Each structure stands twice: as C-alpha cells, then as structure tokens.
Chains A and B, each alone.
Chain A
Amino acid sequence: MLIEAEHLYRFYGNTCAVSDLSLTLEKGEILGFLGPNGAGKSTTMQMLCGNLAPSAGQIRIHGIDLLDSPKEAKRHLGYLPETPPLYRELTVDEYLDYCGRLHGLRAARLRAAREESKRRCGLGHSGGRLIGNLSKGYQQRVGIAQAILHSPPVVVLDEPTVGLDPIQIREIRELIRDLGREHAVLLSTHILPEVQAVCSRVLIIHQGRLALNATTAELEHHVRSSSLTLETRNPIDPGLLSTLDGVEAVEREDENHCRYRIFCARDNDPTETIVRKVLENGWGLVEVSPRRRTIEQIFMEITRHEES
C-alpha cells in the first residue's frame, strides 16, 4: 500500500473543505481523482503531499506516517501542484538539478536522473533553455519532470493537462500511462474522458466527501445514459418509432433540423431496430449516438443516491 489516508478532515475557518475522506493507492495503479471545481481535490492532494496539515486524520506514505516523520515520508513522493512550482530565471537543467539536490541526489546519480526524466517528458533538447521562455505546455512538462526526477514510488499530479493543447494532452496522458507501470499515480482532473482514458480506478469527490470509489469499468455504467441522439436528413414519423420495443418516448430537439432525442429502457437497447427502421423508411440516417452524461449529471445522480 503506497498511500493510505484515513478519515481526513480539513477546515478553513468554519468551512469544511474535506470531510471524512479515506483513500488508498497501490503499486501499479493510476487513481483518478474526479470532482467539480472546489470539491476539495487540491486540498486533499496538498494534504497528501505535506503542504497542508490535515485538521484530523492520518496519512501514511509507503507505510511511513507523514505527520510524524515528514522528511522520511516525503522521500517517496513526487508532487506536481496545480501551478507548477518553477523558477523562471533558471534553465531547465539548473532547475532539475536543484530539485534533485533537494531530494539528496548528487553528482553522477543526479545527472543520470535529470537526463532520464528529461527524456521521459520529451525535454531532451530543452535543457539549456530558460524556464520563463518556455511555452505553457513545456513548463507543464518541466513540472512533471520535477515530480518524477527522483523516481518516487508515489507520483501525485494535480490537474496535469490543464491549459494544454490536444496534442500535448495526448502526450501527457501517454506519459502518465507509462508512469503507471512502475509508479503509483494519483491524478486529479475535472474532465471525465481523461479519467476514462488513463485511470484504472476513480474516486469521485463532491463537496469534500467521497461520493464514489469505483473502477473505470464501473464508472462507464454511470456515464451511459438511457437516451440516444438521432439525426436524419428527412423528418421522421415519431409515432412509428415510439411503437418499437424499448423506445419510451421520442422528442424533437430542434425545429429547423431533424434532430431527435429518443428515451429508451435501461436494459433494452433499441439502437439496432431504430437504425433499421430509419433505413427502411428512407429517412436518411445522419447520426445516431448514445448520450453520455456530463460530469455534473453524474455528480447529481451519485449524490442523490447517497441521500436517498
């Protein structure tokens, strides 16, 4: 068990940011920490990395109590905060050397670690550049390079893909998947597809409480909703479709386009029969797709479940 956190609480004055949160992280796992903005993700991560003392609760990193022996426990941690902690006036190499020295790396081992983490983060040719002159994507990479420099067993990344362009996002996700093979990774995000793309397990946190602890496959069940979007070239006959088995209602979404929303039964997927009907009647199929729920809707559902 690489991270064990038990019953964490954190208060800011009278507001409770994190309440009774427990989590575990094992080797080889990529744990996604999902929640809307202000749910307490960053607060939890700061507590796990020793940047913030919890109001109550216990944290063990690699079996070492973070509050009792912080120095020893932090040796096993790599942390990328929300804003990468970069010194703009240093070059990438100087900066990584400094981080390595803080973690007790010296001379040959330091050089090897620096080159390795630069290679993994795609910074091979940027060693001599000033951090302040790098683009946002590259700065983010330097931040990640800093977190994995001393090859810690636990890597904590707070919103690592925020503000990056799609190509960079793909590269960073690739890197995270790669990291997951040797390290345990905890990453936070408010983007649902990101969790589904990289994580093996997901924790949903809502208003400082743990709302769901599930594998990514189980999450998929929550994401699928029981309705379809259908778009055709010609207007359809909604009455004809609603008689089909599994279709509960058909609704036209848009007066100008032939776009419909079809509500179906949960355990009876009528997609195939609908498509066949559309083709038979020559309505001209343009699009048929299952509706995916937004993260807000999932939160609503999960929290509603909890209350009832």
Chain B
Amino acid sequence: MSALTIASRELRSLFLSPLAWSILAVVQFLLAYIFLSQVEYFQRLQPHIAALESSPGVTDLIVAPLFGNAGVILLLVTPMLTMRLISEERRNRTLSLLFSAPVSITEIVLGKYLGILAFLAIMITMIVLMPLSLTLGTDLDWGKFAACVVGLGLLLAAFAAIGLYLSSLATQPVVAAVGSFGMLLLLWIIDWNATVGTAKGELLGYLSMLRHYQNLLKGMVNTTDLVYFLLLIVTFVGLSIRRLDNDRLQK
C-alpha cells in the first residue's frame, strides 16, 4: 500500500516538472513523423506488393518499424526519466523521510519503480494511439500488434529497472543518466561482436536486448524472450533494493 503512495507521488512530481511534459511531447512528435513517413512509404509500396502471395501487411510495414524506432528513441530518453529516482532524493536528503516512516526498503524501491512504470505506460498509450488510428481505414493484425505492445512494454520496463539501479548507485542524477545510457546501449549492441552466430558467441547473443525485442516485433512470443526481460527486471530491481539497504548499513 505504501508502495502505491510512493508511486503516485513519484508520478505527480514527474508531471510537476517540465521534463516529463517535454519528453512526452518530443517523443510523440518524433514518432508521429516516423509513423507518417511509414504510412506514406506503405502507400507507395502497396500497388507493387499487392499481387504477391503472403505479402507483408500494414502491421508489418507500419506498426513493427514504428515500435522498433520507439525502442531506440526511448533508449535515449528513459535514462533521463529514471536518473532522479533515488539519486535526487539522496542528494536532497529526503530519503530520511522514507527511512524513518514505517515503510520497508522493498516498498520504497517498488514504489519508485511503479511510479516510473506508470509514466512509461502513459507514453506507450500515446504511441499505441497512432497505429490504432489506422483502424479507421484498414484492419490490423491484432496478434502481431499485441506482441509489439507487449514487447515495447517489457523493453521499457527493463530500461526502467536498469535506470533505477544506476540511480540508486549515484549521488548525482547526471551520473546516473550517463551510466544507465551506457549500460542500455551496451546491452543493445552487444551482439555486434564477431563471435555472435558461432557457439562461442551464444551468451553475447542471448544478452542482446535488440534480438529479443525484434523477435517480439515479428510477432513471435517466445518464453525465452519473455523470461529474458523478466529476469532483467527482477535482477535490477532486486539489486536496487540491496543497494538502498546498504545506505542504512554503511555510509
């Protein structure tokens, strides 16, 4: 219950600063531009591919690329949202309010995490509205569409968990942002290594967020991919709890 109280304050404070509004606006603007370009591209392509057997449809040519680009843009943006979660409270010395209230460390961290998830959910809703507007003129492949939404949701939840952990490590928000951006980018490009594809590169290939995300965008909902994201989330939220508990033990 206390976790929800903390989450709602977190969300409120986000919207009290211009940061959240400008991030929502900028992301929406960029994605709308990509979306419209994709729609135009599809219109040009449609006459050529209509005759093909099992030709790619609207969902493949518009929705999947849109969500793919959303993943990249949000990789840049999420660290800016998560950077303040814990580091700013530590810097402003407001953590002691939470520490001396009858709230456990787990509830504090979960509250912070849920708060940022709620914000990301708003962002996903706004992104989802764009492909949904296509239903006015055509039909979507609802299965693939749902897989894309689930994929983006899991991806952002993993971004947020990593950002939360880095924020619990840092005293300065900017350091947390730089750290989580570096970490996210590394996990994104980790399969560029030459060994990927061979037996030696299996681990690096598995670690790559991009690969798991792309599977979901293609409409393939594998337990491997779901478990990958869930593991990532649980690990980093758990690490954040441990890190914050450490604040109390050793300063």
- Interface residues of chain A, those whose CB is within 8 Å of chain B, are 12, 46, 49-53, 70-72, 74-75, 77, 79, 81-83, 85-90, 94, 98-99, 101-104, 146
Contacts and interface: CB of A to CB of B under 8 A. Distances in A.
A104 to B, nearest CB: 7
A79 B103 CA distance: 14
Contacts of A75: 102
A88 B5 CA distance: 18
20 contacts: A50-B100, A51-B99, A51-B100, A51-B248, A70-B104, A75-B102, A79-B96, A81-B100, A83-B92, A85-B96, A85-B97, A86-B92, A89-B16, A90-B12, A90-B13, A98-B9, A101-B5, A102-B103, A103-B102, A146-B97
A166 B28 CA distance: 53
Contacts of A53: 248-249
Contacts of B104: 70-71
B200 interface: no
Nearest to A52: B248
A102 B249 contact: no
Interface string B5-46: 110010011001100000000000000000000000000000
B106 to A, nearest CB: 11
Interface in B117-158: none
A44 B251 CA distance: 14
Contacts of A101: 2, 5
Which 8 A-B pairs give the minimum distances between C-beta atoms? A85-B97, A85-B94, A102-B101, A79-B100, A101-B5, A74-B102, A83-B93, A49-B100
A12 B251 contact: yes
Contacts of A77: 100
Interface string B179-198: 00000000000000000000
A79 to B, nearest CB: 4
A104 B97 CA distance: 14
B101 A74 contact: yes
A79 B45 CA distance: 67
Interface string B230-251: 0000000000000000001101
A50 B101 CA distance: 9
B98 interface: yes
Interface residues of B, number: 25
Nearest to B108: A102
Interface in B81-96: 92-96
A186 B6 CA distance: 28
B13 A52 contact: no
A53 B99 CA distance: 11
A227 to B, nearest CB: 43
Nearest to A10: B251
B115 to A, nearest CB: 12
B9 A81 contact: no
A215 B1 CA distance: 43
Contacts of B98: 102
A70 B13 CA distance: 28
Contacts of A98: 5, 9
A185 B248 CA distance: 23
A21 B16 CA distance: 44
Contacts of A88: 92
B100 to A, nearest CB: 4
B97 A99 contact: yes
Given A51-B248, A53-B249, A90-B13, A102 B94 contact: no
B95 A85 contact: yes
Nearest to A72: B102
A53 B93 CA distance: 17
B101 A81 contact: no
Nearest to B98: A102
A70 B103 CA distance: 9
Given A81-B96, A89-B17, A102-B2, A52 B102 contact: no
Contacts of B16: 89-90
Nearest to B2: A102
Nearest to B249: A53
B52 to A, nearest CB: 56
Nearest to B16: A89
Contacts of B102: 70-72, 74-75, 102-104
A50 B99 contact: yes
Contact of B13 (A12, A86, A87, A103): A87
Given A49-B100, A71-B102, A89-B13, 7 more contacts: A51-B248, A74-B101, A77-B100, A85-B95, A90-B9, A90-B16, A102-B5
A77 B100 CA distance: 7
Contacts of A102: 2, 5-6, 97-98, 101-103
A157 to B, nearest CB: 12
Contacts of A99: 97, 101
A219 B93 CA distance: 34
A126 to B, nearest CB: 18
A70 B105 CA distance: 11
Contacts of B17: 89
Nearest to A102: B101
A88 to B, nearest CB: 8
